[in-house]
Structure 1
Amino acid sequence: MGSPSETEDGAGGHIRRQEVVAEIGQLALETDDLDRLLRDAADAVAETLHAEYSGVFELRSADDALRLWGGAGWEADHVGTATTPTRSELQAGYTLRTGDPVLVEDCRRDERFATTELLDERGVESGITAIIGSVDEPWGVLGVYSTTAGHFTDPDVSFVHNVSNVLSTTVENRRTRRRLEAEKLLKSQIIETSPVGIVIVGADGTIEFANERAEEIYGRSRDELELFSHDDSRWDLVDTQGDPLPAEELPFNRVVESGEPIFDAELGLRKPDGRRVWVSVNGSPLGTDDDDDDGGRAVFTFTDITDRLRLEGEFEEILTRITDAFYALDEEFRFTHVNARAEELLQHSEEELVGENLWDVFPSAAEIDEVWDAFHTARDEQKPTSYELYYDTLDFWVEANLYPSESGISVYFRDISDRIKRERKLEETIEELEQSNEQLESFASMLAHEIRNPVTIGQIYSQQLSTDENPEAVEYVEEAFDRIEEMVDIMLLLTRGDGATGEREPVSLADVARDAWADVETCAAALSVDVDGEVAADETYVRHLFRNLFENAITHGGDDVTVRVERLSDGFSVADDGVGVPESDRERVFEEGYTTTGDGRGTGLGLAFVREVADVYGWDCRLTESDAGGAQVELRDVEFLGK
């Protein structure tokens, strides 16, 4: 193909180029098919300029290359696959970066740009490129190429530039349309998936639009809602007190008349099934771009607060019923709630306190460091605090617990004056008892000394009595002295506790149990010992413990009772096969003075002594029923030596 003739590049050529631009522009208006437009434009440019090749190259940001979209003269397998780099030393890359159309008259001699493999392989000698889109948002490049050097003229450059402008406008319009469609879809999705109800009310007061959540709140379909006006009587609108909402208070009227938004307006409406729904309403005038439109439309959002109000009511009722006094403060220490008990103790009604500052109402409290610090620590450090003190202003002892939250402080307090009085009385009683115990202990020690001296003398003389003349009398005297000795030991232990025991040494429970059994009148009773191990104790008191348990078993179980001493997992037990003890009496038997014998033999101190020994050594003592149905005394929490 040779160079264009003078005629072709004259007036006729100029007119033809204008016609082609107009045809491409018309096609751009008529079709939404961008592929067809780009393809036809590339073909028209090649045909008009008598060029062998033309192409539309799309910019691919992912690999920074221009892909051959379509055009004239290319092999079919290259369209959609062939690419060329976008480096600025190449003609197309330079065009992208400058935005200006570029003419290369002789590719071999033009030192501005390097050639590309795609054009070299086809013997291209000259070409024109123009950007499609803008430098900031390029879509690609329009190019036309000839195998003849100097084939193109300056009018050809203007022609290609004009065609690229038409394509740029089309591409930009398409981008804008897609962006608007995406925004519209996004807005629609936001509106439809919004957790709040959204409605648009027209200038005539009818509902023009309602989203899905609005349908749920109102209990009516979108089609039904669009038949309603904002003030339809079927809404049965009421205020928070349950009174009918006057016309001037209707949300739509407030927005339209004031021209200002409204926020958090709470009202009740009636659903078709008769249920009352409470909603919080926000609304705003809806602007318009139409100069002839006077406006009057408004958009509203509705939040269902039925459950919230119900819970708030229940919470209010709970606070009212709390037996402790309760009040709540905001972050500035202003009262926000006061229950009935708090009104009583603070000597102010809720109406008097709500909205007032704590330190203004009770200035003397601010002067008490403990109180001031408790409130400020709770608020500033967000951690619970408490205090207990006598508040002279209100004349009572107060115990207060403060719990912080993001919105302020909850204070639970009570009058503990009676408790303080009881505690002080108890302290006085304990002090008196301690004094009495000291006196009793002193008396017991003196009495033990006074008794043991004559007993010791009596025991010495009793050993001189002849067992031949009256053996029973001698035995009775010896037993009486032993009994007195035992009673002295019991008395000292009961009055002095741990102070009565001697040094603790290893004691074999089995050996001591058998020794104690030998001290008891056993008659036909039998003993079984199955307990191993040693404990750290005073052997005398452990033997007395076993002896008291054995005597108790024989006394209540009979002369032929069988007594078993056995090891437990954490202690040991003494059990018999006698009649046992009723469950209702199992604690009473350990009380001092408790006895069931009517012959005067019982002192009522035996089992009391057993529990006292257990307490001294930190053992748990309890009475249960044995496997044989008799009584079983268990001693647990026993620490065995060598474990």
Structure 2
Amino acid sequence: MSSGGITLDEVLAACERVGKVCDPVTASEVGEELGCTRRAALNKLDELAERGDIESKTVGARSRVWWRPPDRSSAYEQADTDDAPAPSSVTVDESLDEIDKRLEAELDKVFGRISEGFYALDNQWKFTYVSERAKELIDAQDMDLVEESFWEVFDDEADTAFSENYRTAMETQEPTFFEVYDETLDAWYEVHAYPSESGLSVYLRDVTNLVERERELEQSERRYRALVEHFPNGAVALVDEDLHYRTVGGNPLDVADVTVEAIENRPVREALPPKLADELVPRYEAAMEGESNSFEAEYDDRTFEFHIVPVRDDDGNVFAALGMSQDVTKRKESERELERALDLLERTERIADVGGWEIDVDTQDVFWTDHIFELLEVDADEEPPLDEALNMYHEEDQPIVEAAVEDALASGDSFDIEVRIHTDHSGIRWLRLQGVPETVDGDVVSFRGAAQDITEQKERERELQERNDRLDSFASMLAHELRNPVTIGQIYSQQLPDETESDAVEYVTEAFDRIEDMIDVLLVLTQGREAIGERTPIHLADAAREAWDKVEAPEATLNIEFDYTTQADKTYVQHLFRNLFENAVEHGGSDVTITVGGLPTGFFVADDGHGIPAGERDGVFEAGYTTAADQGGTGLGLAYVKELAEVYEWEYTVTESSTGGARVEFTNVDQAAPSN
């Protein structure tokens, strides 16, 4: 781009992009920004200086810098004043404070020593161009580097910052900048590398002196570093020894409802609302004594965080204080929510006696919540790796845990197991261990779970099992002991004299038969499959009719509408039908109508009575469930039906009949060929 094609406004805009207000820029920097020569940029900068838009001064022996004072408008805004007489000389604005002067003095020395070298590499890492200055910088004046491989010429750079940054730039196609120290040349270099598909363009600059000077400038640049490094999102201000605001940045409107322009160069006490001033003034005074401090305060239902730090000169003397404020309302709300959630989690863990764990799928490291340490009786700083954590389980259960974890990591399937674990003080404890992997595209990306102490539950289950075993043993013994006298009673009842009243004989016979039925029920309930004899083909319809003959319900009606043959013990199946029929009469009324019908894989027993409420249907088969306890109901009838169905592996369910009564369905009933 020629100088004739560049407007003054474009040059002024380039200055503003290259440097902030009051920051010096060079003609080279502006030319690079505009894509023109340094001379073209220099001419336009001189024109801007002549008409008063920017100021300029000589730096060192040969260099010049330009800057835009904060009180100057842009060239476009001054278009109507171009005819005004140009100032005869330009000086630095007297409002620049002492820090600016010290920084400028150091920058004078830096700008006088700027120099760069350039070389280009193709995508095969071969040199395509090397400037003379670049050869000087890399000590290769006598070498023809074009077409040579960078890695062969500089084989000692293969594992240095050059290799890492060059290769990263080519892989990401993003420019990179880095500083590197060359021990061979005892020099520091500043390197800018710009990648493209065809190769890499490298600008090399010897910044050895600059690095040394930057170290010397560190103290004088503290103000600027503090603004950059410590400035949170919010407002920042520099306060002088008289507690006047000298520089203000950010947005003070949020906390003080004031603008930057309204408080600069004013006393802190006068510039701020009284409440905020009372908080800040003592802290600025403390900062002037070298004390840093931070605090939080609430204004208009929002929480702000303040930091006040002293600013020192080259000699370590405090000459200003830097104040920073940040609206942390959302962060505080998040912290409170997090604390509440963590507290809830901790309380829940303790109440449920459960803790959480996580296994890093990449490193296999194990992470536990606090309550896990308590469950395992392990110190909180002794979180073991996975292999050591597995060793804490009982020897017989270690393979179970290891297999569950490995399968979950490989397949992404969850697991839920009960295992034992060794503890130092409580001995062996039982844990319910659950693991839930999270997968993305079929790969496990996280693996978390929970561990719950179920030792007391296992102890209760053991005690309950022992009690049940004792009860089963007693019931079986009682059933067997009763069967012999019942049999004897049945025999003698048949030998009663003919003159004995027939009703009495019938009652005694029926009583003994009923006792025998109860014995069969008890044996099925206590012994299950062991109580069932040999299975033979039986017609379920015949078994239902024979069972109906034993039911005392002269007003009730039985309809049998199916023909189904299965392998079973006829006596026990008759008991099943009899219990269902008697239950229907008991709950449906003396004139109830009962229907036994067929299903594709079984049968059903339905009535037209009052039915069973939906909320009670799951419980009617449990032992002891009865609504006729005052009439002698034992609650064993339907429990027997359930037990027998499970012994034969029939599926059963309670629903509503077509007439609104109860309907019990049996499916998965094996069908057998009828016997001859």
TM-score by length of 2: 0.44
TM-score (norm: length of structure 1): 0.46
Q: Rg bigger for which structure?
A: 1
